[in-house]
Amino acid sequence: MIFIKKFYHIIEEKINEAFNKCGYNLNECIVNKSNRKDLGEYQFNGAMALAKEYHENPVDIANKVVNVLNEDQFFQDVNVAGPGFINMTISNEALINFTNIDDYSYPQNNKTIFLDYGGANVAKSLHVGHLRSANIGEALKRLCNYLGYKTISDTHLGDFGRPLGLVILELSKRYPDWLFFDKNYNGKYPQAPITNALLEEVYPYASSKAKEDADYLKEAQEMTTRLQNKDKGIYDLWLQIMEISKKDIKRIYDNLNTEFDLYKGESDATYCVEDLLKYLDTLNIVEESMGAKVINVSEDADKKEIPPMLLIKSDGGILYSTTELATIYDRMNNYQIDEIWYLSDKRQELHFTQVFRAAKKANIVKDTKLIFVGFGTMNGKDGKPFKTRDGGVMRLEGLLSLVNDECLKRLNDNISDNRDSIAHDISIATIKYADLLPNRETDYNFDLDKFCDLDGKTGPFILYSTIRMKSLLNKAQDISYHKLIKIKGESDREVILKLNDLDNILQEAFNSKSLNAITEYLYELTTLYNRFYSENIILKEKDLELQESWLYLTSIVYKINLILLDILAIKVPDKM
């Protein structure tokens, strides 16, 4: 990964040069932020590792290096502490020169990352369980794009399994006169009177009945097989259900600022299932097990049992794992991909482990990396699964409406224009920031009052502060500010130092596939800026060089906030 503004890299290069000048060869040079600001802003601990190799006291090694570093005007002070810790404070001049580079772009590279997220099920309501996949996936995609990677995103709809068999079966029970269910009909099928409201009512009913009625479940399984065999009438009705449901799913995702390049699903891979099965048969890796066909994916290094991947059921039906493997087979045949990231509930890890191993064992995937990005669940304020007041599963639109109403209620009374639009932007920021704040693998509780607050680690706090920066810059339109000239004291210096952490933060987020580093950084940078803002009356500052420096610094923080909020798929309203 190439980073343009590598502040830490500059320090590390200088340390490497100093060690070499003193006759030492560093195998690795990693500079960290110091937790003792009285000693320095940055710290390097490599002298201890060299002591044994060179048979010298680590303090003596560190002192030699410090003497060299103190000759460099890049540093204000370099000292040794403890058993050989090298502490560094950067000079104002170096900070000013680096901040004035003001280049936060990244070059394009030739890697393509395919992101599979969203995971909505056709003919079913999106519920709060779909939120994290959409939010984390969209933000990771935008992060990859910002860092110069090419991306392809696919929501990978659940559209060809038993849920659809249940829906079509129940429709056949309620509306037996529909031509779709007449096996002797050979004409053109009319538009069915299907609505999303009907689908959302039918599926829960059919799902519940199948759990209680074994005969009904068997009929649903048979209907699913007919659908997967593309039986005339059944398949035609499915096409109409798909069109209606996909349109509604896209509407909700659009509302969340979540976009996909592809709206494909399980069904799109079924055309190559037959070819896949023929190919697998030539490899002699498919085994019989109680009438079913499986692929053994266990490995000698496994610390726990990894069951075989079930490929074909004993009744000849295909499973989710079958279409998952077929989807990889299809993607590798149609796209040039370096990595595929699968975002799903962390409880699905075993499923993806089985599929990934099967893909590798079958040589479907060679150099392409398959990466499972698991995430925890969002719960209610009480720590229990998020429910409606009547105890049902909270629909995603219900949550969006709930948060939107709260944000509208808190909106400044002086705002008369575009109140609904502004409240919408704030509500999406509220939800996304809260959802991306914890590490992705962590379960968290959604507290409406807490996350809508203007104070604390919240989306509204970040938005309000960012809007205030923009307001200040608008008021300073007649003032020229093009660079940082001087640093007054601790508060503006702390903001500059925090800006220099940006590259490390982006790299951490990319490597961990989690956005919490970015959300934490946004909060810390914004908090430091607010402290600086409260201590200085920028527009009334009489020292014009200082005023220009402060306005320029404000413009940089504002720019970084906009960049990071856009990565998180959060829009900034004009006012709030």
> What does the pLDDT read at residue 105?
83
- Give which of 121, 48, 119 is closest to 81, Cα–Cα: 48
Domain count, the chain: 3
Q: Cβ atoms within 10 A of the Cβ of 529, count?
A: 27
Of 230, 255, 280, the last residue of a domain is 255
Instruction: Quickly state the pLDDT bin for 381 (edges 50, 70, 90).
Output: confident
Q: Are residues 168 and 69 in the same domain?
A: no
> What does the pLDDT read at residue 390?
63
Q: Are residues 43 and 177 in the same domain?
A: no
> Identity (one letter) of the amino acid at 512?
S
> Identity (one letter) of the amino acid at 381?
K
Question: Mean pLDDT lowest for which of 9-18, 99-108, 474-483, 530-539?
Answer: 99-108
* Beta-carbon contacts of residue 214 (< 8 Å; ≥ 6 apart): none
Contact in structure between 484 and 525 (CB atoms under 8 Å):
no
Question: Does pTM surpass 0.95?
Answer: no
H or E segment and range at residue 116: strand 112-116
User: Which one is predicted more confidently, 388 or 315?
Assistant: 315
Mean pLDDT of the chain: 94
Over residues 500-511, mean pLDDT: 95
Q: Are residues 38 and 170 in the same domain?
A: no
Over residues 268-286, mean pLDDT: 91
Q: Are residues 410 and 540 in the same domain?
A: yes
* Beta-carbon contacts of residue 38 (< 8 Å; ≥ 6 apart): none
Q: Are residues 197 and 64 in the same domain?
A: no
Q: Are residues 68 and 206 in the same domain?
A: no
Of 62, 90, 118, the last residue of a domain is 90
Question: Mean pLDDT lowest for which of 134-148, 290-304, 385-399?
Answer: 385-399
For 438-490, what is each residue's pLDDT tens digit?
A: 999 999 999 999 999 999 999 999 999 999 999 999 999 999 999 999 999 99
Residue 68 falls within a domain, yes or no?
yes
Of 231, 255, 279, the last residue of a domain is 255
3-class SS string, 433-490:
HHHHCCCCCCCEECCHHHHCCCCCCCHHHHHHHHHHHHHHHHHCCCCCCCCCCCCCCH
User: Which one is predicted more confidently, 39 or 103?
Assistant: 39
Burial 537-573 (b: 16+ CB within 10 A, else e): ebeebeeeebbbbbbbbbbbbbebbeebbebbbbebb
Residue 496, pLDDT above cutoff 90: yes
Which range of residues forms the domain containing residue 522?
396-567
Over residues 3-32, mean pLDDT: 88
Residue 275, pLDDT above cutoff 80: yes
CATH number of the domain within which 54 lies: 3.30.1360.70
Residue 100 falls within a domain, yes or no?
no
Residue 387, pLDDT above cutoff 90: no
Residue 291 falls within a domain, yes or no?
no
Q: Are residues 416 and 559 in the same domain?
A: yes
Q: Which residue has the tokens 């019989």?
A: 288
Over residues 3-7, mean pLDDT: 60
CATH number of the domain within which 451 lies: 1.10.730.10
For 63-96, what is each residue's pLDDT tens digit?
A: 999 999 999 999 999 999 999 999 999 999 999 9
How far apart (Å, rounded) are the C-alpha atoms in residues 527 and 462? Answer: 9
> What does the pLDDT read at residue 507?
93
> What does the pLDDT read at residue 318?
82
| Phi, psi angle pair for 354, to nearest 5° | -65, -45
* Tokens read off for 239: 């096409």
Residue 223 falls within a domain, yes or no?
yes
Residue 254, pLDDT above cutoff 80: yes
* Beta-carbon contacts of residue 130 (< 8 Å; ≥ 6 apart): 118, 119, 120, 396
Q: Are residues 167 and 76 in the same domain?
A: no
Instruction: Quickly state the pLDDT bin for 2 (edges 50, 70, 90).
Output: very low
86: three-class secondary structure by DSSP: strand
Instruction: Quickly state the pLDDT bin for 412 (edges 50, 70, 90).
Output: confident
For 169-202, what is each residue's pLDDT tens digit?
A: 999 999 999 999 999 999 999 999 999 999 999 9
Over residues 312-337, mean pLDDT: 91
Instruction: Quickly state the pLDDT bin for 370 (edges 50, 70, 90).
Output: very high
Residue 430, pLDDT above cutoff 70: yes
Instruction: Quickly state the pLDDT bin for 1 (edges 50, 70, 90).
Output: very low
> What does the pLDDT read at residue 4?
43
How far apart (Å, rounded) are the C-alpha atoms in residues 342 and 118? Answer: 10
